[in-house]
Amino acid sequence: MSNPLSDPIVDYLEQHLDQYLTDLTYLAGIDSGTHDKAGVDQVQTWLQQRLTEIGFSVERLPQAEWGDDLLARRQGDGQMQVLLLGHADTVFPTGTAAVRPMTIEGDRVKGPGTCDMKAGILTGIYAVQALDAIGWSNIGTLSFIVVSDEEIEERHSSTLLKTEGPQHDAVLTLEAARENGDVVTARKATRGLTVRVTGKAAHAGVEPEKGRSATLALAQVISETFKLNGLKDGMTVNPGPIEGGTRPNVVAEHAQAVFDLRAWSVAELNELVEAFRATASSAAISGVTIDILADSEAGMPAMERTAGTIQLESHAIAIARELGFPLKGAKTGGGSDVSFACHQGTPGLDGLGPVGGLDHGPDEYISLSSIVPRTALLAKLLMAIGDDTELRQI
């Protein structure tokens, strides 16, 4: 993007775009699937060194099974406490980087983990470097967390994120912006419930009347609970993995299904869970028992669109306008690390990396032309937060 107004931050980023791409080529060339500890640790070692070079004190949090996590901090001259958030793991298996190294095709920078989310982490680093280049340091504590387990459900880092988030005045997550350029201002709370049905086996041909079909009862549970979709705006119920029975000629004695429940707030999710339990229990047929199980640690809290988040969104929209591109906030049903970090209402924005799309697939990409303006957006947003000491009172 050209810079007719000669903005010093944009100037710096344009001058360092080639180095950004060199760094991204290196990081995208490392296989760092969540289960590849050696690969994730290699990414984290590079990030640890780079963060140290730009003034962060970096604590490496070792993990026995997964990649290590990084918790970095540096002190400035201001009052506000800001957390930058990212993850080093990808969904791609070992060997992908060699088969599909990073390439630039027109405006698309393609490669494993470019969009999700190695480019976003670099955006955080280069935004800080740009602020250093102009001599701006009006943040109290700037924290930078890079976890290793975002792409799986078995999360060891959720405790770290839940602990760190409330200690900050704002959380800025470096996932890519939506394909249309939107940043994320709200994410749903999620919960997983398992319904286990126990009936009575019998010969399906000779004496089916002596059986009690667990699969039939589960079908009724699925049908009735599906009607809870839209009970309130944003409430969803989705039956996922389903299993039951042993053979076609046996009345099924056991069946189970796992359900995904979502809502825009934790309070509404709890309301949906109770409605689900009541509906599922009432769907039972004679002689069949229904058990509804939930892991208390399962799912994600909501990233709610609080007054503080609306204030951050307003800052971002105004800065984008100054930089010459449109921006708006969007709600999404998916969870993210920001959900844990903002679980107590800390203001946050997600999607502050470059514009990108097709995550988790062979054509995953970021937009080359978005790197400089989106990194400038992040740098200037940090400046706006540093100057907005009223944000901590919202």
HSE toward the beta carbon, residue 285, CA cutoff 13 A: 16
Q: Which two tokens stand for residue 322?
A: 């100054």
- Tokens 């070692």 belong to which residue? 45
Q: Which range (3-7, 38-42, 375-379) has the least confidence?
A: 3-7
182 and 197 housed in the same domain: no
164 and 19 housed in the same domain: yes
The average pLDDT across 184-210 equals 90
Is residue 298 very low, low, confident or very high in pLDDT (cuts 50, 70, 90)?
A: low
| CA atoms of 296 and 292, how far apart (whole Å) | 13
**316 pLDDT more than 60:** yes
**Three-class DSSP labels, 135-166:** CCCCCCEEEEEEECCCCCCCCCCHHHHHHHHH
| CA atoms of 57 and 76, how far apart (whole Å) | 13
77 and 129 housed in the same domain: yes
114 and 232 housed in the same domain: no
pLDDT, the chain, mean: 92
Strand, helix or coil for residue 181: coil
180 and 91 housed in the same domain: yes
28 and 139 housed in the same domain: yes
- Residue among 326, 270, 332 nearest 305 (CA): 332
Domain containing residue 61: 8-187+302-393
Residue 11: Cβ within 10 Å count: 17
Model pLDDT for residues 126-151, shown as the tens digit of each residue: 999 999 999 999 999 999 999 998 88
> What's the one-letter identity of residue 218?
L
DSSP output for 321-381: HHHT----EEEES---HHHHHTTT---EEB--S-BEE-TTSTT-EEEGGGHHHHHHHHHHH
**293 pLDDT more than 50:** yes
Is residue 6 very low, low, confident or very high in pLDDT (cuts 50, 70, 90)?
A: confident
Residue 2 lies in a domain: no
Q: Which two tokens stand for residue 132?
A: 């250093």
177 and 64 housed in the same domain: yes
The average pLDDT across 161-175 equals 95
Q: What is the number of domains present in the chain?
A: 2
Please tell me which residue, 232 or 394, carries the higher pLDDT value.
Answer: 232
Among 293, 321, 336, residue at a domain's last position: 293
8-15 and 119-133 helices cross at what angle (nearest 10)? Answer: 130
| CA atoms of 181 and 196, how far apart (whole Å) | 42
Residue 256 host element (H or E): strand 254-263
165 and 219 housed in the same domain: no
Residue 74 lies in a domain: yes
Residue 22: Cβ within 10 Å count: 11
Model pLDDT for residues 225-257, shown as the tens digit of each residue: 999 999 999 999 999 899 999 999 999 899 999
Among 251, 275, 293, residue at a domain's last position: 293
**181 contacts: CB under 8 Å, gap ≥ 6:** 325, 326, 327, 355, 370
Residue 220 host element (H or E): helix 214-226
Residue 175 lies in a domain: yes
Looking up residue 60, the CATH number of its domain turns out to be: 3.40.630.10
**57 pLDDT more than 50:** yes
HSE toward the beta carbon, residue 210, CA cutoff 13 A: 8
Residue 1 lies in a domain: no
Looking up residue 267, the CATH number of its domain turns out to be: 3.30.70.360
Angle at 329 between CA 261 and CA 235, to 5 degrees: 15
**204 pLDDT more than 80:** yes
**357 pLDDT more than 80:** yes
Residue 97 lies in a domain: yes
318 and 181 housed in the same domain: yes
Among 265, 293, 321, residue at a domain's last position: 293
125 and 107 housed in the same domain: yes
80 and 181 housed in the same domain: yes
The average pLDDT across 277-287 equals 86
381 and 322 housed in the same domain: yes
